[in-house]
Amino acid sequence: MPDFEELSQESQRRFQELEAGDKPWIRVGTAVCGEAAGAFQVIEALNAELDKRGIAANVSAVGCLGLCYAETLVDILKPGKPRIFYKNVTPEMVPGLVESYLVGDDPRQDLALASFGDGSLEGIPRLEDLPMWSRQVRIALRNCGHIDPLDIYQYIAQGGYAALNKAVTQMEPADVIKEMQDSGLRGRGGAAFPTGTKWSFLARSPGPLKYILCNCEEGDPGAYNDKGILESDPHSLIEGAILAGYATSASNGVVFIRHGHEGPIHRTMRAIEQAYELGLLGDNILGSAFSFHMEVSLTGDSYVAGEETALMESIEGKRAMPRARPPFPAAYGVWGIPSNINNIKSLSYVSEIISRGGEWFAGIGTEGSKGTAILCLSGNIALPGMIEVPMGITLREVIEDVVGGVPGGRKVKFLQTGGPLGGVLPADQMDIELDFGVMSQAGAILGSGGIIVADDRACAVNMTRLLVAFCQYESCGKCFPCRLGMTNLIEILERIARFESRPQDMELMRTIGQNMAAGSLCGHGQLGWNPVQSALRSFPGDFAAHMEEKRCPTGQCLAPVFTPQRTRSRWTSAQPLELRF
């Protein structure tokens, strides 16, 4: 088995052949957004056209650059030229693109989105000058869209596994934990608990068996950054998990992925195989005394499975329902073995923190929220996609400057942040910072990073009804405050949306919500009142119109339609709000 220096040199050699060789290197975005736009059909068309013309080129399926609005994204690097990104490419466009740029030398300004690398091309902006790119600080997403996720050598060529080599050869486990504590990294899965502190709990638990669990359940509507990392750069997660194992003296790791997410599942499994093949997983990693083994575990469609104890139940083959605590996972986790649960994003920061130092990471962001936030922007915006921006940037800057604001001359009405258990944030509060504490005080949470933008056609009552309907459907039913409370809340909101509200409904919802918060076993019930509470606080006028005036100001809710032949009304739905995801 080669040592790490040999691996690094071989990786650099292979990458240099691709980047500075005598053949074009064509990269096509094939994450779920690219696949939905026809990326694999574009690759087939590219290969067929190249074969037809006898053109030798390297064609790679890469992940998501984050510019989801531009998919399918095709990135061409010709020898001696900067990379050119072509947007919204279809199979029908491929022959003309090959003829114009690969056979000729016309870069097709009309199709190009941006260029990247040394040099510039007239009429084509540089990638770093695009509004959606210029404000980003990419740490966890540093390789996404640039490397082939199925080629471990490309990851190593970009500095991958250097942090692992540094840790096992130069650092004690306690030193790794200290760097994580100095970094100020807080969990990016929603709870925002300090990562280094969480690791220290597991480090104190006895071995020899201990587990690092990597949570990619990711069932939040509007959130896809965990899946984006796994299908674009799975080795960043694997290296972070191995480092967590080294720091805590853990023996095993499990990557927990929702069943049906085929891209993340396949690419993570293959990345784990490659790490074993090169001695980066398994026994005596890189010749050290440290051993660590990893596997992938799949769960069914269960939103509650993202809760850490329900996740452990699912890994054990049981129904995903939360456990009562204590005991806490660091003492009694999966199969009764001490365990730590970390989000995919959290672990994807780790290798860079170990390589560059905790103080470097702590120098980014705000006093209470260090580093960057990985956001998934969707809804009524010009440029939907996935971005990584420093903590401390305001939501207004993100919405208006980074993702282009609301198209068609309309205005933002509210943001739905932090998933279905998060808050509804009105437009007049968009000047708040991306900061865990600041957002919580405003009645919203950052959560897993999903932000859905609604314009002035949206109805706060209808949006709240949809959020609570999701939460009611996804309740595991184990504890009655959540099981019955969610059901009662959706019944009341349905009445309000049908203009059949009762005088006591407002007070009844508050009582139900308080009981859920106080008595539910996990965050699903404890936070279930949050979207209703924030909507009531921010948009009392929408609720008053439904309850007192018996109308929906935007026409989004159910409306009575009277006919001369019938004395009672029938209910029809107005045209649904069109949201871009």
Q: What is the DSSP string of 138-164?
A: -STTTTTTTS-TT-HHHHHHTTTTHHH
The per-residue pLDDT for 574 is 39
The per-residue pLDDT for 2 is 65
**Is 568 a residue whose pLDDT tops 50?**
no
> How far is it, in rounded angstroms, from Cα 19 to Cα 9?
15
C-alpha 23, offset from chain centre: 34
Domains of the chain in start order, with CATH, are: 4-128 (3.40.30.10), 160-361 (3.40.50.11540), 372-458 (3.10.20.600), 468-572 (1.20.1440.230)
The per-residue pLDDT for 446 is 85
> How far is it, in rounded angstroms, from Cα 239 to Cα 218?
20
Q: What is the mean pLDDT of residues 518-539?
A: 92
Amino acid identity for residue 496 in this structure:
I
**CB-based contacts of 45: which residues, under 8 Å, 6+ apart?**
91, 92, 94, 95
The per-residue pLDDT for 50 is 97
The per-residue pLDDT for 579 is 36
Q: Taking the model in full, what pTM does it have?
A: 0.93
C-alpha 212, offset from chain centre: 20
- Half-sphere exposure of residue 117: CA atoms within 13 angstroms, side-chain side: 16
The per-residue pLDDT for 578 is 41
**Is 566 a residue whose pLDDT tops 50?**
no
Is the link from the previous residue into 326 a cis peptide, with omega within 30 of 0? Answer: yes
The band of 580, judged by pLDDT with boundaries at 50, 70 and 90, is very low
**Is 562 a residue whose pLDDT tops 60?**
no
Structure tokens at 250: 């853990």
**Is 567 a residue whose pLDDT tops 60?**
no
406-426 burial code (b ≥16 CB/10 A, e <16): beeeeebbbbbbbbbbbbbbb
- Mean pLDDT rounded to a whole number for the chain: 92
**Is 222 a residue whose pLDDT tops 90?**
no
User: Computed over its alpha carbons, how large is the radius of gyration of the chain?
Assistant: 25
The per-residue pLDDT for 560 is 47
3-state secondary structure of 341: strand
The secondary structure of residue 515, as a DSSP letter, is H
> How far is it, in rounded angstroms, from Cα 230 to Cα 343?
12
The band of 558, judged by pLDDT with boundaries at 50, 70 and 90, is low
The band of 205, judged by pLDDT with boundaries at 50, 70 and 90, is very high
What would the DSSP string read from start to end of 234-245? HHHHHHHHHHHH
- Lowest mean pLDDT of 150-164, 428-442, 501-515, name the range: 428-442
**Is 294 a residue whose pLDDT tops 90?**
yes
Q: Are 79 and 89 in contact (CB under 8 A)?
A: no
